[in-house]
Amino acid sequence: MIVWEECSDAEVAALVKALHEARFADEPNDPLVWQSPIVIDLHVQALVEQQRRSEHRRQAGSSDPQAWLLWRNRPEQSVVLRKLAQDSKLVQLAREDGGQTLRGLLRPFILDNADVKALLERVETAEPT
């Protein structure tokens, strides 16, 4: 368990960056990292803490702090597409459960039904690697 009050802003930012890069790195054979529930949860917790801290510094009237969580147009999409193209079982599960698997794997990003559909369609049309 991380005691967030004992972490500096720089340490929280470094943890967020390290977990984000680990989850969305374009490395083959890393499903233990990018699909790991504990890594996903820790990434979400670190992001929540980082957002909580930035809320205190944010001035009134600024942009929506949740806007950066939207999946649409994220640079990580190409990495996720390649990972999905290599894992047909995961793609099938995502189709069968209506995208819940994808939403869980890609937390904290927010995917609506159109995002899930577009992602699965892009995997179908992607060239095999």
**Contact indicator for 89, 100 with CB cutoff of 8 Å:** no
Is the Cα torsion angle 118, 38, 50, 13 positive or negative in sign? negative
Asked if residue 120 and residue 88 are part of one domain, the reply reads: yes
Domain of residue 87, residue span: 66-128
Asked if residue 59 and residue 14 are part of one domain, the reply reads: yes
The total number of structural domains in the chain stands at: 2
Asked if residue 104 and residue 57 are part of one domain, the reply reads: no
Residue-wise pLDDT tens digits, 9-55: 889 999 999 998 888 887 766 777 888 899 999 999 999 999 888 87
The pLDDT assigned to 46 comes to: 94
Residue-wise pLDDT tens digits, 99-125: 999 999 898 888 889 999 999 998 888
